[in-house]
Structure 1
Amino acid sequence: MEIYIVRPGDTVDTIADAYGISAQSIIYNNQLPYPYPLAIGQALLLSAEAPTSLGREKKSIYAGGYAYPFISRWVLEQTLPYLSDLFIFSYGFTPEGELIPPLLDDTFMITMAKASGTAPILTLTPFGPTGQFSNYLISQIVNNETAKQQLIANLTAQITERGFEGIDIDFEYILAEDKIPFVNFVRDIRTAVNALGFPVSVALAPKTSDNQIGLLYEGKDYGLLGEAADSVLLMTYEWGYTYGPPMAVAPLNKVREVVEYALTKIPASKINLGIPNYGYDWTLPFISGTSKAATIGNVQAIQIAIEQNAFIQFDETAQSPYFQYISEGLTHEVWFEDVRSLSAKFELVEEYQLRGMGYWQVMQLFRANWLLLADTFFIYFKET
């Protein structure tokens, strides 16, 4: 596959003719809606008739993706062939260790994942009554042996009764004093789940040093958690975020810093790189404490650029696309992911020989990502 950057005057037909490929393949790969307009600077994924990367050897790679039970069945069906694991988001718990299932029934996700050869993974999160991460709840469960064992019993029962094939632990805002109890919590869950023949993973906030200050970081010890879990997900996204100033969601220079630190603490064979499947649309000027960006899909970002006649640019340092436009007298700035930014992240995975990658999240289909991933790697599944 090849990446082509749209220039002034290009159309789907002229690009197809120049490359000797079908216009329909361009439309399909890139999810172009009729009548198939293009944005200048847009990155298109082209399916070449002949191989252009002779001599490059594929390697098996892990790919996981998070999804809520309100995901479209069509989107899930389209995505599952590219996933090793489907992380079903999410299961909560009480201070006494009782599991709280998602509000919507997730049975169809388990069934569809298994039918595709993808492992359904129960994602455990400490959400409080307000729907936010609760460090009070974390403290209660990791420091109370009775409650912890009750939760472990409930987790193993879910695996046995409902067909989950692993547990993912996504705890954020852990208090510094709970750092070691949390490590023990992960280790104890892993012992129980491994005994059933399944793995346990843990999500890690994007640290770059041992003593990084901040509630996101102080409660997570990369080295100890890397030992306690079967694998880890580096949450290498949200530099650009809802309440922050406009910037790339996952700038490659920052992502690289996190990976390089992680590799000093955790074997590469255990590390999955977090990849965002979304972007943000900010209204300018940014005002701290007031501004709030709108979350958008990557395909949606392109449609906004087309509708607003915006020129898509590419930041070489962040390895991320962006553009500005004016609507109703207000200036907007959009950062998102395209096949160029994703290719750079795939190259990082290859460069450091990481285990693979995990997507937050797969609720919207970005077909070009999955086609590029499959062209670059072999996706490995549990049975292989």
Structure 2
Amino acid sequence: MIIHVVQPGETINSISDYYKIPVDRLILENGITNPNNLAIGQTIVIVQPETLYTVRAGDTLESIAEQHSTTPMELLRNNPYLSDREYMYIGETIVISYQTNKTRTIATSGYIFPYIDKSVLIKTLPFLSYLTIFNYRATREGEIVSSADDTELIQLAKTYGTAPMMFVSTMTGEGIISREVAFEILGNPSVQDSLIDNALQIMKAKGFYGINIYTEAINYDNLNIYAEFLKRAAAIFHSEGFRVVITITPATNINTPNISFEKIDYSKLAESVDGIILSSYDWARSYSYPNAIFPVNILRELLDYMVSIIPSEKIFLGVTALGYDWTLPYVPGATEATVISYNSAVQIAADNGIPIQFNEAAQSAYFYYMDVDGNLHVVWTKDARSFDARAKLVEEYNLQGLSFWTVMKFDAQMWFVINNQYYIQKF
């Protein structure tokens, strides 16, 4: 795999000629939306196909997969555009395999809200081991409230060999956490019993594979209480055959240019569960200091600490594909960033003739630009190099896998990078 960084004067045609890969394939594989006006500094992932196949009359994904000793899921990962339509066309060429050096299988988990575009979900599911549905909120009485019917999503996930996970927190769809409710639940064993029983009934009725519990606002004072609750809950869920995962947001200071995290003994939380997701919710807040989201240099410090206290094979590294656009000057608590995709960021850079820069320490792309009103902006986003660096941490630290917040939009380049490094666990 080569990550090509667009240089001045290059076009999609010149890059195609240089690597001898058709233009339409470069566009499809990378999800390029600005092929006629590339931005300097934009990334394009280059992977040469190993085996190609020309579709014939009567072919199906299943028959082609069987013929080449692979799986329909692998074909969809190598040709995700096929998920956008019902049929393959006679005479079209699809990729059976790429020239890659995959050495291991990892687990991947993606968060969605119930209102996800079904076409996006269908395109994404081949890449996911677990689908975490953000749909259940715990109340102070131990009741569990859902925001929508997720029955169709659960069944769809299973069709693609993806395990649906129930996500429980006190967080609203807007991302507002009720610490008061969490405090009341943790302080009342009878409420905990109700919460555990209600979660168990929902998992059984809906057909979930397991539960993902968001352990909110962990600190030195509530750590032991959380650990005891998780021990009780996990014992019950495990006895019924359900997988138990927790999501934590490492306590960090993100309101200054120098991000830091507290070394809390998270091993107490991980003892009873099957996986622990190191989330980046707080690092992706729209009111945070303009900076890279989950910078790799800080991630390494976090992982160095985490693997010293938690078995590495239990850890999922949280990744967010989101980018942020801040209007400057930044005013703490008042300046709100706009969430943007990588393609949107690239379009801004291309339209303004601004080269995209890259911070090597953070492994994140950024640039400054002026809007039509003369306001200065800074954009931080992730490109192929960013995803490549974060994906490589899984191998380096021997982690269980990657967890993505969120997969509400399909990021072709991100999945292309990951698909050419790892096999994806399926059920």
Q: Of residues 282, 285, 288 in structure 1, which corresponds to 2:332?
A: 288
Quote how far apart the aligned CAs of 1:201 are. 0.8
The yes-or-no answer on 1:313 pairing with 2:364 is no
Contact 1:25–1:47 (8 Å) recurs in 2: no
Distance 1:66 1:60 in 2: 20
Per the alignment, residue 128 of structure 2 pairs with 83
The yes-or-no answer on 1:118 pairing with 2:162 is yes
Q: Higher mean Cα deviation, 291-300 or 255-264? A: 291-300
Quote how far apart the aligned CAs of 1:128 are. 6.8
Give secondary structure in 2 for the equivalent of 1:376: coil
Q: Of residues 276, 287, 308 in structure 2, which corresponds to 1:243?
A: 287
Structure 1 residues 129 and 371, CA, compared in 2 at 3 Å: closer, same or farther? closer
Per the alignment, residue 199 of structure 2 pairs with 155
Distance 2:207 2:130 in 1: 13
Distance 1:36 1:61 in 2: 36
Give secondary structure in 1 for the equivalent of 2:308: coil
Distance 1:273 1:68 in 2: 20
Q: Of residues 258, 261, 272 in structure 2, which corresponds to 1:228?
A: 272
Contact 1:239–1:247 (8 Å) recurs in 2: no
Contact 2:249–2:279 (8 Å) recurs in 1: yes
Quote how far apart the aligned CAs of 1:178 are. 2.7
Give secondary structure in 2 for the equivalent of 1:74: helix
Structure 1 residues 129 and 364, CA, compared in 2 at 3 Å: closer, same or farther? closer
Give secondary structure in 1 for the equivalent of 2:361: coil
Contact 2:265–2:309 (8 Å) recurs in 1: no
Give secondary structure in 1 for the equivalent of 2:318: strand
Letter in 2 for 1:27: I
Give secondary structure in 1 for the equivalent of 2:271: helix
Contact 2:325–2:378 (8 Å) recurs in 1: yes
For residues 269-302 of structure 1, the C-alpha deviation after alignment (integer angstroms, 9 at most, x for no partner) is: 1011010110100111112232111111222221
The yes-or-no answer on 1:2 pairing with 2:5 is no
The yes-or-no answer on 1:272 pairing with 2:285 is no
Quote how far apart the aligned CAs of 1:58 are. 1.8
Per the alignment, residue 12 of structure 1 pairs with 12
Q: Of residues 354, 360, 365 in structure 1, which corresponds to 2:405?
A: 360
Unaligned runs of 5+ in 1: 209-215
Distance 1:280 1:26 in 2: 26
Quote how far apart the aligned CAs of 1:239 are. 4.1
Distance 2:239 2:266 in 1: 24
Q: Of residues 71, 91, 99 in structure 1, which corresponds to 2:116?
A: 71
The yes-or-no answer on 1:167 pairing with 2:236 is no
Report the TM-score, using the length of structure 2 for normalisation: 0.82
Q: Of residues 351, 364, 370 in structure 1, which corresponds to 2:396?
A: 351
Distance 2:340 2:168 in 1: 26
Distance 1:237 1:329 in 2: 31
Distance 2:100 2:379 in 1: 37
Distance 1:153 1:89 in 2: 19
Distance 1:154 1:26 in 2: 49
Quote how far apart the aligned CAs of 1:32 are. 2.1
Per the alignment, residue 181 of structure 1 pairs with 225
Quote how far apart the aligned CAs of 1:90 are. 2.8
Structure 1 residues 319 and 59, CA, compared in 2 at 3 Å: closer, same or farther? same
Quote how far apart the aligned CAs of 1:252 are. 0.5
For residues 170-219 of structure 1, the C-alpha deviation after alignment (integer angstroms, 9 at most, x for no partner) is: 132246433222112212221122122221111122258xxxxxxx9889
Per the alignment, residue 144 of structure 2 pairs with 99
Unaligned runs of 5+ in 2: 52-97, 253-259
Distance 2:297 2:391 in 1: 14
